[in-house]
């Protein structure tokens, strides 16, 4: 039976985008002759690459020079054209080249154990005392920013402050409070770091110009080096953390969460030195008897550009949420910048009502509409109830989800539009990483199938939009 539903909107209808994966993270690199150039990194923790402002791909050659790349079958190979030269010199090159889909998929498969977000041990409500640990390598300079810069990014709870603490308070409708504590103990407003015994190159991929790096084809070696680093940092700070600080709020024997901030910038063509969430399973580290498990891994400069946005994205991974962007099939964006776990903005936008229910555990499941009628619906950003409904599809195991998004306030002020969004929901699919099929997909004009993107910015139904049917 076809269901006709009339929604009464209970409120007046009426940023900067940091895609997850990241796009155009600025990097300052030094050529072997001492010349400094600015290039960019894009991608995620499983596959990332370097390029210039015009999207011409960059790699390092055997002598350590940053050079433009050319396609070499399924791979990319260095040319003799050094990055930073005028565009006319590289006019014969093709922008946007990358590894083949098959090679990218191999990288995702090799690190598939990092993609299990269901193995977290972090409470979903109440107070989480999040530990933040600053790390630098043996050959790294000090952090550029004062501690107060990070304290505001993590903890500022003033009204309209853009912080991770305020974000989760708003997203959970007051159910979750994430307060962060910084170690090693700072010297006033000066950051004190754990200094590792290894140089930065030890945590970068092995190459002709970096023989001491980890084997890029060995997930074990990469894991061992990262987890040993983090375990050593935890051992270093344990005695500085007061025993009265509750770091295991749900008393399950595990530290609720640790965020490590590494001095410097992310790498390109590397998996370790890139923002990510994981669990410390390969090394044992304990703080006052509780095992360190869930952790977020951040880089100094990526926080400069995306701040509370990337912090909140990775923390929601710790809470069990998967990514809502496709890892390998990038022909379409199922969700775009309508959800924190897809193309997140800064300030970060809210998750969908379904994500708040299934992974946040902050709200009840959207009720299922079984008969025609008039139903009230409220904005997702401001109401933890009556903000979404489900309608059964004619296909078994599939639903339509209808939610109301209003472009208002600090955390939904950057969404592409406002009005009713209609999702296709496959509740037994965990996220969109391996899509299609996708757990959530927003219907939009021109999106006729799984391989045509359409116009996500015009997805919302509202009196002021031209959207009338799907």
Q: Write down the domain spans for the chain.
A: 5-17+332-458, 22-110, 117-318
The confidence score (pLDDT) of residue 13 equals 32
The confidence score (pLDDT) of residue 89 equals 66
C-alpha span between 104 and 452 (Å, rounded) = 21
Q: What is the DSSP string of 114-164?
A: GG-GGG----SSEEEEEEEEEEE-TT----SS-HHHHHHHHH--STT---H
- Is pTM, for the whole model, over 0.85? yes
Interior angle at CA 76, CA 73 and CA 77, nearest 5: 105
Question: What spatial distance separates the first Cα and last Cα of the chain, rounded to whole Å?
Answer: 17
Which is nearest to 265 in space by CA: 174, 351, 200?
200
The confidence score (pLDDT) of residue 88 equals 45
CA dihedral of 218, 219, 221, 222, whole degrees rounded to 10: 120
Q: Are 263 and 140 in contact (CB under 8 A)?
A: yes
The number of beta carbons lying within 10 Å of the beta carbon of residue 232 is: 16
Which is nearest to 420 in space by CA: 458, 447, 363, 382?
458
Reading the chain (470 residues) residue by residue, the pLDDT tens digits are 334 445 443 333 333 333 456 888 899 999 999 999 999 999 888 899 999 999 999 999 999 999 999 999 999 999 999 998 766 466 789 999 999 989 988 887 877 666 667 777 899 999 999 999 999 999 999 999 999 999 999 999 999 999 999 999 999 999 999 999 999 999 999 999 999 999 999 999 999 889 999 998 888 999 999 999 999 999 999 999 999 999 999 999 999 999 999 999 999 898 899 999 999 999 999 999 999 999 999 999 989 888 899 999 999 999 999 999 998 877 889 999 999 999 878 999 999 999 999 999 999 999 999 999 999 999 999 999 999 999 999 999 999 999 999 998 999 999 999 999 999 999 999 999 989 999 999 999 999 877 889 999 999 998 877 777 77
Going through 399-464 in order, the beta strands assigned E by DSSP cover 399-405, 419-425, 440-442
C-alpha span between 419 and 405 (Å, rounded) = 5
The confidence score (pLDDT) of residue 356 equals 98
């Amino acid at each position: 039976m076809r269901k006709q539903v009339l929604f009464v909107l209970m409120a007046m209808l009426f940023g900067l985008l940091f895609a997850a994966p990241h796009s155009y993270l600025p990097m300052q690199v030094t050529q072997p002759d001492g010349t400094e150039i600015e290039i960019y990194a894009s991608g995620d923790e499983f596959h990332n690459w370097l390029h210039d402002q015009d999207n011409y791909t960059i790699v390092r050659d055997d002598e350590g020079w940053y050079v433009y790349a050319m396609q070499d079958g399924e791979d990319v190979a260095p040319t003799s054209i050094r990055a930073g030269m005028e565009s006319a010199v590289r006019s014969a090159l093709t922008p946007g080249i990358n590894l083949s889909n098959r090679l990218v998929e191999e990288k995702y498969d090799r690190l598939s154990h990092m993609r299990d977000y269901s193995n977290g041990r972090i409470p979903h409500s109440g107070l989480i005392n999040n530990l933040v640990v600053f790390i630098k390598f043996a050959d790294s300079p000090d952090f550029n920013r004062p501690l107060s810069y990070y304290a505001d990014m993590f903890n500022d709870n003033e009204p309209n402050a853009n912080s991770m603490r305020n974000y989760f308070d708003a997203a959970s409708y007051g159910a979750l409070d994430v307060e962060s504590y910084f170690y090693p103990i700072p010297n006033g407003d000066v950051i004190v770091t754990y200094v590792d015994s290894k140089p930065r190159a030890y945590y970068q991929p092995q190459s002709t110009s970096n023989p001491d790096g980890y084997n890029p084809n060995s997930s074990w070696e990469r894991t061992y080096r990262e987890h040993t680093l983090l375990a050593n940092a935890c051992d270093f700070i344990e005695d500085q953390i007061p025993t009265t600080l509750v770091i295991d709020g749900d008393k399950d024997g595990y530290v609720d969460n640790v965020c490590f901030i590494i001095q410097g910038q992310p790498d390109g063509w590397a998996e370790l030195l890139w923002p990510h969430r994981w669990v410390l399973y390969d090394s044992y580290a304990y703080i006052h008897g509780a095992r360190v498990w869930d952790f977020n891994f951040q880089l100094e400069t990526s926080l400069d550009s995306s701040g509370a946005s990337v912090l909140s994205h990775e923390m929601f991974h710790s809470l069990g949420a998967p990514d809502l962007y496709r890892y390998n099939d990038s022909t379409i964006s199922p969700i775009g910048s309508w959800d924190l776990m897809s193309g997140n903005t800064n300030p970060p936008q809210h998750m969908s009502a379904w994500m708040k229910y299934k992974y946040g555990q902050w709200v009840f499941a959207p009720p299922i509409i079984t008969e025609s009628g008039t139903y009230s619906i409220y904005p997702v950003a401001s109401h933890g109830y009556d903000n979404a409904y489900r309608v059964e599809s004619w296909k078994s195991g599939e639903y339509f989800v209808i939610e109301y998004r209003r472009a208002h306030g600090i955390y939904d002020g950057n969404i592409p539009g406002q009005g009713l969004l209609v999702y296709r929901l496959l509740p037994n699919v965990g996220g969109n990483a391996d899509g299609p099929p996708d757990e959530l997909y927003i219907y939009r004009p021109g999106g006729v199938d799984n391989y045509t993107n359409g116009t996500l910015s015009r997805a919302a139904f509202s009196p002021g939009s031209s959207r009338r049917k799907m």
